[in-house]
Amino acid sequence: MDIKYQRNYLTEVIVKIDFLNPINSLEDKFPANLKPEIKRLFPIAEPQDIIAGEFQIKQSPDSSNIKSNKKNLKNWNFYDKNRNKLLQISYKDMYIIFKVYESFEDFKVCFIDVTDSLFKEFEELQIKRLGLRYTNNIEIPDRDPFCWEGYLNKDLLSIFNIPQDKTKIIRAFHNLELNYEHFNMRFQYGMHNPDYPAPIKKKIFILDYDAYCNGILTKDDIFKYLPIFHEGVQRLFENSISDKLRIKLNEEK
């Protein structure tokens, strides 16, 4: 399935990999060999200082046996020239966020280029989790914030039928988790209400798809699974929307 629309309601698209073992050398310095390739795609570097801590408690009534260890670490943040894309690499994970999303092909190429560079620099790198998340904020100006008929699958709207007076609703949100052959999907949907706990006034419906898998993954695995995740998200998105929304998605920007 490869359906392309003229526009979208995406606020964020995120891909994330968690490392099986920490890369200790990334705690306080960034590899010189890796920097040119990263800065080609994300030219603005803004490293971020973070503090990681852990507590050790011994079996004793004496509170002096509580010890705290703190470490000063770095998140290596890189942005594209328009700051619409963020790459963050740390000692334990890497993720890419697109706030302006044009196509899966562009997104995939960016992810592959960065990940390839990581595996070249750290040859023993293994991945324990891969995740791909699409967050849609569908906002349609309308006097009735609860009238989504024709835009969305009617089965997503049944929660609005429970109260007799819809104006009393201040939040309506669902969480559906699915297990597919190669991955799991967490699908969150509904009206989260940016004005909560005030009554819902804005007509905004969230469709949030988070596909992921856990296990020991090689570079070939994650490159194979990413398109599978994307196809799973796209199928569920198509099952979530109706024709009136498809018309809006095909309007010129």
What's the CA gap between 89 and 22, in Å, rounded? 12
Mean pLDDT for 8-36 is: 95
Mean pLDDT for 183-205 is: 95
| pLDDT recorded at residue 3 | 85
pLDDT tens digits for range 158-178: 999 999 999 999 999 999 999
| pLDDT recorded at residue 66 | 57
What are the backbone dihedrals phi and psi of residue 128, each rounded to the nearest 5 degrees, phi first?
-110, -10
Mean pLDDT for 96-111 is: 96
What are the backbone dihedrals phi and psi of residue 151, each rounded to the nearest 5 degrees, phi first?
-90, -40
Q: Which DSSP string do the residues of the chain spell out, in sequence order? A: -----S---EEEEEEEEEESS--GGGGT---TTTHHHHHHH--EE--EEEEEEEEEE-SSS-GGGEEEEEEEEEEEEEE-TTS-EEEEE-SSEEEEEESS---HHHHHHHHHHHHHHHHHH-TT--EEEEEEEEEEEEE---S-TT--BTTB-GGGSGGGGSSS-GGG-S-EEEEEEEE-SS-EEEEEEEE--TTTTSPP-S-EEEEEEEEEEEEEE-HHHHHHHHHHHHHHHHHHHHHHB-HHHHHHHTS--
Mean pLDDT for 215-229 is: 96
pTM for this predicted structure: 0.91
Q: Where are the domains of the chain?
A: 1-11+133-253
Beta bridge partners, 138, equal: 205
Mean pLDDT for 8-26 is: 96
